[in-house]
Structure 1
Amino acid sequence: MRARFDEVIHAPNRLRITAALSTVESADFATIRDLLGVSDSVLSKQVKPLGEAGYVNITKTVINSHVRTSLSLTAKGSKAYRAHIAALRAITANLGEADAAREQIAEHPES
């Protein structure tokens, strides 16, 4: 897996959605909504681009005349999520190395 920053996943709520779905086979729409603390419309708006990118499956089933929506991360979505996290780690590791170099220079300016 190659680290790759993903603009679709990077939006805060979409990152939280993919993170939550990465730990389960599937989750009810309401469960993810409550976990994020957002409205149905906000969650729908955030799930849509994930679905369009092929990262999230959106499944609707009718149970006792009520529509139940469940979300699951696809194999493509799981791979993209892991690559995005790896890219974020690489970015922050590089910042950490730069900070360490600046500290070392500050401690020994004559070098």
Structure 2
Amino acid sequence: MSTPAGFDELIHPATRLSVVALLATTEWADFAFVRDSLSLSDSALSKQLHTLEEAGYLEIRKEGGGRKRRTTVRLTDRGRTAFDGHVAALRAIVEGAAHTAAEHGQRRHTAAEHGQRRQTEVAR
């Protein structure tokens, strides 16, 4: 299977995907808001933000100094384009799998059906 156009290996890890998805819904976000929303430590979030910033996917702004220092982040146009392309690629993967299953006469089983099949197999 080939990887769909737009799939972004940099965004794909769950933590980075969560960061980018959250930032896609805002203009600017406070560091503390992102950290708390995603239940990350300061160091874990800093590492992910730095990686995304190096790729040009987000901008980090630091204002003030000392204990009053405030860090805000936002997606750049490049980051927003990468996120939109990645989401489209994930949708293509999911839709492709559903189409392939339908072509081969496969269907999704409910949890109850799966449990019944499992009990039948065990009873054999």
What is the TM-score when the length of structure 2 is the normalising length?
A: 0.78
Residue 76 of structure 2 corresponds to which residue in structure 1?
Answer: 74
Structure 1: which 5+ residue stretches go unaligned?
105-111
- For 1:96 and 1:45, locate their aligned partners in 2 and report how far apart those are by CA, in whole Å: 36
- For 1:95 and 1:8, locate their aligned partners in 2 and report how far apart those are by CA, in whole Å: 23
Q: Deviations over 1:33-82 (max 9, x none)?
A: 00110100010111111000000101000068521100100000000000
Residue 51 of structure 1 corresponds to which residue in structure 2?
Answer: 53
- For 2:34 and 2:47, locate their aligned partners in 1 and report how far apart those are by CA, in whole Å: 13
- For 1:8 and 1:72, locate their aligned partners in 2 and report how far apart those are by CA, in whole Å: 17
Q: Which has the higher strand share?
A: 1
| SS class of match (1:54) | coil
1:13 maps to a residue whose letter is: T
Question: How many residues matched?
Answer: 103
Residue 37 of structure 1 corresponds to which residue in structure 2?
Answer: 39
- For 1:37 and 1:73, locate their aligned partners in 2 and report how far apart those are by CA, in whole Å: 20
| CA RMSD after TM alignment | 1.7
2:80 maps to a residue whose letter is: S
What is the TM-score when the length of structure 1 is the normalising length?
A: 0.86
| SS class of match (2:69) | strand
Structure 2: which 5+ residue stretches go unaligned?
107-124
Q: 1:87-106 counterparts in 2 under 5 A?
A: 87-103=89-105
- For 2:38 and 2:5, locate their aligned partners in 1 and report how far apart those are by CA, in whole Å: 26
Greater C-alpha radius of gyration: 2
User: Which 4+ residue blocks in structure 1 deviate beyond 3 angstroms?
Assistant: none
1:85 maps to a residue whose letter is: V
